[in-house]
Structure 1
Amino acid sequence: MVAKETKLKGCFILEPKVFRDQRGYFIESFNKETFKRLTGISSNFVQDNESNSSKGVLRGLHFQRGEYAQAKLVRVVRGSVMDVAVDIRPNSETFGQHVSVLLSGKNKKQLYIPKGFAHGFVVLEDNTIFSYKCDNYYNKSAESGIMYNDLDLQIDWKLSAEDLILSDKDLKLSGFKDIAL
């Protein structure tokens, strides 16, 4: 596995080794010791989640507050997404900045998103399966988010606004300047 830290401290792009032969492929998608050696981060993932979405579905930008904050390790099993992490750590040098990474079933890349980040993704292909690990349990009372099209963040979602499909909840999220951290 190869790990490369993004411009946002603590946020890593991971590329597992892919072993291919006539049968298909094999990857080790996570190994706690290898992850710690490459990133210096000791994670204890406690929950795995998976979604299946159509092209144009945008989920995010979500985060959990306070003691329920979550670090995530995200990947695509099938299809592709433009994955986005936004640094919302008030004392960070990169506060308000984001990274975008193309994750796909073909490239097998993963993104590690530390606590203190908002996260979202837009689906670029039908029947995309998105999988992620969390180091803390979901708590409905701690959920929050930022509007996907916030003018201060200037995120390029790679699809036009007319092609996006959002939940009612995501359409009512706050702007970046309006979130209380």
Structure 2
Amino acid sequence: MKRVISVALTAVLCFGALTACSAADNAAPAASNTTGTTATEPETDKPESGEGENVQIPNPWVDCGSLDELNAAAGTALHAPTGLEVTDEQYAYMTDGYTLAEYEFTYNGGAYTLRTAPTQGDISGVYQDGKTLTELAGDDNDILTADDNALWSRWFDGTAQFSLYAKNASAEDYTAVRAALADAE
């Protein structure tokens, strides 16, 4: 009987200790608040110091207003597909060791991303099964079907690499866009 009472008291004491530790952990942020505000009031007069919830990574992409503006800013020679009506055009570039230019557009319901940069590395920005599309394609420059039936290919013109990625596009439309891009060069 003494043993049962001892086990029961030990269990109650352990439970009490765990509850007290848990309550102390939950109260710790309010106790460490040294600005004089309560834990429920937002700190509005404190300058952003790079710590806390308001920290954001700067967007490395610089938007441009036109394809000509993109080519001038990025030092590239991207062209719109010749003879095709494209919509929803967007232009941007970023510089990180080299300049990567990106031209996004829609054709027949497919969303296309054309990128170019003076590099042999992957510029698609798309990963599948933990690998880049360039790693999956190897030396094959034919059209690759990626996850979600997206289509991708790359080609080279001198030192410039081009990458064309499309979501929700038919193989026929993709081939037409790729041919129209080649005609524009």
TM-score w.r.t. length of structure 1: 0.24
Of Structure 1 and Structure 2, the greater strand share is in 1
Rg larger in structure: 2
Q: Highest relative contact order (Cα 8 Å, sep 6+), 1 or 2?
A: 1
TM-score w.r.t. length of structure 2: 0.24
Of Structure 1 and Structure 2, the greater helix share is in 2
